[in-house]
Structure 1
Amino acid sequence: MSMVSEFKEFALKGNVMDLAVGVIIGGAFATITTSLVEDVIMPIIAFIAGGEINFKNMFLILGDAPDGVARTYDALKAAGVPVLAYGSFITVLINFLILAFIIFMMVRMVNRLRRADEVVEQIAGPSEEVQLLREISAKLGNINK
C-alpha cells in the first residue's frame, strides 16, 4: 500500500472528518464567545462599576518605560516593556468560563437524550432484529448440544 493511499484512508475515516468539523465549529464558536465577552458582558460590568472600564488597559508596568512612550498597553508592549496584563487575563477567564458552561450544558443535554433513548428501549423491549438473533442463537445452541 502506497503512502498516498494510506494517507487517503486515514484522512477520510469518519473520526478524522468528525474531528475536523468539530475543530472548525469550535473555532467559530470561540469567536462568538469572545465577542459575547468583549462586546456584551464587559460593557455591562463597566456600566455596573460606574464608568467606562477598559479591561485591556488594566495592567501593571513591571519595568522601566522609555520616555515618550504612552502609558497604554499596546504602546508599552510595542516598546518591549514587561507588562502584567491582568485585565486581559480577566477577559480570557470570563470567556473560558462562558465557553465551559455552554459545553457543560450541551453535554448535559446529550446525556439526557441518551437516557431517554435507553428508557424507550427498555419500555419497548428488544427490536425485532435482536429477537430474531436471539432465536437463531438459541436454535444454534440446541444444535450444538
Structure 2
Amino acid sequence: MKTIFEKDGFSEVLERLDRLSPQSQAKWGSMNVAQMLAHCNAFQDIPMQKTQSELDFIGRFVGPFIRPMMYNDKPLPHDLSTIASIKMTDEKNFDVEKITLKSKLQEFYEAGPNSCDGVIHPFFGKLTGEQWGKGVYKHLDHHFQQFGV
C-alpha cells in the first residue's frame, strides 16, 4: 500500500492534484470538484490535529472491525458514508481549495508519521502514523479516481 509519507506516494498525489481542473467531472457521488477538494482539506485537518476529533458512537463498536479498510490494499467503496462534519454541500472556490490542499499535504509530508501517531479518526479510532499515511493516500486516491485523475 502506498503512503503519503514516502516520496513516490507524495509526488504522485501532487501530480494528480495538478491534473484536476474546475471542469473535472465526478464519475460518482454528489460533490463537484471544488467541494471534493474542500472535503479533502477538512479530512486532512484530522490527522494534522487542526480540528478536534472524537470517536463516533457507532465507530466505538464497528470501527475496530473495519479499521483495516482505511489502510489495506482494497479500494474504498464508492458509496462509503462521509463523516458528517466534513460533508461539503455549499459552493467552494476551486483555486483556493487546490492551493490549500497542496500546502496541507506538503506540511503533513514534512512532519512525517510521528506527527499523527495515535491521532483518533472519528470512525476508525486511534491510528498509527503509518496507518494515517496509508489512509490519507488511499482517501486522496479514492477522490482523484472519482474525478478521473
TM-score if structure 2 supplies the norm length? 0.23
Larger Rg computed on CA atoms:
1
Specify which structure has the higher proportion of helix: 1
Q: Which has the higher contact order (CA 8 A, sep 6+)?
A: 2
